[in-house]
Structure 1
Amino acid sequence: MNSIDDIMIFKEKHIKISDSEIKDLLQNQMKLIDHIKNKQNQDVSDDKVKITDLTSKVNSSKEILQSEKQTLEYKNNVLSKHLNHITELKGEKNKFLDENQQLELQRNKLKTCKRNLKDQALLDQGRRKFALYKEFTKIHWDYEKLEESIAGNVSDKKKYIHHFSYSKEENTKDLSNLLWQEIYQSVAYKDHKDTYDNENVVQN
């Protein structure tokens, strides 16, 4: 017997597989293949879910970054405006300091200057005239209202006092006449005080 025959005999003796066994093997193999396929499909499905979730997170992060970028740009713009304003304020401050220094220098120069006797005499004369006019006319001006109207009062420094207020649009001549009328009334009251007092008593 040659070696090939020996091999065949050995094969038939030790390796005998029935059709049912082959069928079982095939079924098991198919089950294994199905299991592997299902596992792969499940893994693919899980990966898709993960990819979708990651994509959503990435998009959300992009939106947040875009919003933060816009906020940062806005804040940078506001900060730039504030810095420009601060620069302008510093410039104005330096300008003010320079002007203040110049004024101090001028003031110091004026302090060292000798008083001009002629100007001082003219100023004193003007003050005396003003005092005389005030005493003569008995007019006391309401300086707080001078920008809006010509106002004040006339008094004889005793009992008589009369307030007046005229528009600045009044004609200069008419205004002068009105003021002289106020002065006249104060003098007339002084000269005829008894008559005014008697009239007031009768009226009361």
Structure 2
Amino acid sequence: MTSRTIVNICVGALFVLAVLYVMAQWNTPEWQDNPMYPLISIIVLAIVGGVFFVTVVLPKFGDAIGTVMYSSGEEVEQDESMKAVALVAKGDYHGAIKEYEKMIANKPEDPFPVSEIAKIYSEKLHAPDQALHVIQENLENRDWTEENAAFLMFRLSDIHMATRNYDAAKDILEQVAGNFPGTRHSGNARHKINELEQLQYKEIAAQRAKLSSQG
């Protein structure tokens, strides 16, 4: 039980006790003879009732309004995402892609389903060219925020890296660094370029060593 729930119970109980006490005393001779008692009781009830309304009723009302306004869309999105994950687990990759496409239709500004479709094509269906096409097409045909555009461009670079197309991966990273100068995206892109160049250097050195040993 949370502290908020305990407070709500205590405030509610205090309000109920106050009402019951006033009801029990209202017609007694002492209260009838002294008009100050009913007046004070009304003031106390108003204060306790106000506290009860602010701490218990109002938050519940706000939660209900928030649920009506926001929860339905979030639940639909979460439901589609869970369906897609379940279909991937069962090996129904094309079915999962259809669920992610529904998410794109419902929330076109979200890059996550685009990235997941590309991931399925690249890692599950072994179709990296299709994965690249999905991301590239969505990048070109829709307006994205800086954050989301950089996210999708990094995904492009990752797919090129996975297929050992290092020049294409480096080109994408250089575009990120050039498109978003002075941002963390540019810094991350520069860091990845350094890692990529080191990897290329190691592979070239390994190939030369192998040729030397064969000669």
TM-score tier, shorter chain, comes to under 0.3
> Which has the higher Rg, Structure 1 or Structure 2?
1
Higher helix fraction (1 or 2): 2
TM-score, normalised relative to structure 2: 0.25
Q: So what's the TM-score if we normalise by structure 1?
A: 0.26
